[in-house]
Amino acid sequence: MSLKTFLPGGTSPAGQPVTLGVMGGGQLGRMFVQAAQAMGYTTAVLDPDPASPAGLISHHHIKTPYADEAGLAQLAQRCDAITTEFENVPAPALQTLAAQRTVAPSAACVAVAQDRVKEKAHFVDCAALSGVSPAPHAVITTDASLAAVPADLLPGILKTARMGYDGKGQARVNTREELAAAWDAMDKVPCVLEKMLKLRAECSVIVARGADGATVSFPVQKNTHHDGILALTEVFEGALDPALAQRAQASTVAIANHLHYVGVLCVEYFVVENAQGALDLVVNEMAPRPHNSGHYTQNACDISQFEAQVRALAGLPLPTPRQHSPAIMVNLLGDLWFKPNAVRTQRSERPTSPPWAQVLALPGTNLHLYGKLSARPGRKMGHLNITAPSVAQVRETTANVLTLLGLPALEA
């Protein structure tokens, strides 16, 4: 990719203000737009939903389907450079845009991230460089490949190759019969069967890579999932073994370099025990964009993952981000608008706001809501970033926040 720079507040050759665009108007697009606007950029969003979180706050909102030629032409006409906020944007749409404008990450990189089969193959290639491998797995595309699955992959998790997220498109299977039934239930779409690993922890790494190949890594996040959805991210010294964290960062940089990636990339890892009883890393999956587990950077680092996305796209410098405070991020799912909490003892039938005033009275709490019009169980409504001068304090404040919201306590 060429080393083009789009300075904030400038004017493009066509005489319009320098404009950054994003494919997709979800919460990640919204926070990209907020970071871009804070720096003085004009923004454009393409998302068919008139109430999309990013569309609601962007200077321009093109409300067509992602593959609509007229919509893509409008986005290209408006923008100097374009990124994406979700991996399921059709790769041909990104190619169309890239013929006219700077697009990062590239359609080719997004295509790897949107297909678990390609993604696993890329991880296997990178393992030779990084020493971090994916879970033992088999690709299932035909009845013959189903029959050929090695017995030691069971019990396992069957995952659709495409379109899975937040634990959707997955089935846990113990026997060959369950595996066959689960694949049937998935309409025999291409899948990956992964061996079920005993996880000691989960973590993820965000890196940002410029068009010049310079790559910077954010600190490593420790993640806790509930029901396949991220619940909590903890980032401070002692949250993870430092040697493992360093390996995870090196592996993520290798994965980005090997793809000639430009933009922000998140890679998820499992911490497991190896045959010798030592802690080891397994690479799980990647997202070609900022990630839910990186939201803590908004309040705990001098550059957020969204500002890094803006900088990488605009060709601006990318100094190594510095974390200045221990941080915990709490995901706010729609369930919180219904469940009992410290203020109401009964479940609410209609969605009612959680006790924000009490939460925000605690020092070091920053609320980020995505402007979604209705709360539903399982829907990501926002997140809370909690920071403090010490690990003990950030844990104490978080314990209070969790109690106020009626959420399970932090693990010891």
Q: Which does 199 bind (CB under 5 to 8 A by kind): Mg ion, ligand ADP, none?
A: ligand ADP
Pick the closer one to Mg ion by CB: 101 or 162: 162
Reading the block at residue 348, the tokens are: 């609410």
Pick the closer one to Mg ion by CB: 268 or 280: 268
Pick the closer one to ligand ADP by CB: 157 or 207: 157
Task: Please choose, from the candidates 385, 190, 395, the residue with its C-alpha nearest in 3D space to the C-alpha of residue 300.
Answer: 385
Pick the closer one to ligand ADP by CB: 80 or 119: 119
Span from 191-199, 326-334, 382-390, 404-412 in contact with ligand ADP (CB under 6 A): 191-199
Q: Does 182 bind ligand ADP (CB under 6 A)?
A: no
Write the single-letter amino acid at 167: G
Q: Does 50 bind ligand ADP (CB under 6 A)?
A: no
Provide the minimum distance between the beta carbon of 77 and ligand ADP in the complex, in angstroms, as a whole number.
34
Provide the minimum distance between the beta carbon of 121 and Mg ion in the complex, in angstroms, as a whole number.
18
Q: Which does 155 bind (CB under 5 to 8 A by kind): ligand ADP, Mg ion, none?
A: none
Provide the minimum distance between the beta carbon of 239 and ligand ADP in the complex, in angstroms, as a whole number.
17
Q: Contact at 8 Å (CB) between 245 and 220?
A: yes
Cα pseudo-dihedral 284, 288, 289, 290, rounded to 10? 20
Q: Which does 241 bind (CB under 5 to 8 A by kind): Mg ion, ligand ADP, none?
A: none
Site for ligand ADP, residues 62 to 121, rule: CB under 6 A: none
State the residues that interact with ligand ADP by CB under 6 A: 135, 157, 159, 164-167, 194, 196-197, 199, 202, 225, 228, 268, 284-285
Residues that bind Mg ion in the complex, under the rule CB under 5 A: 268
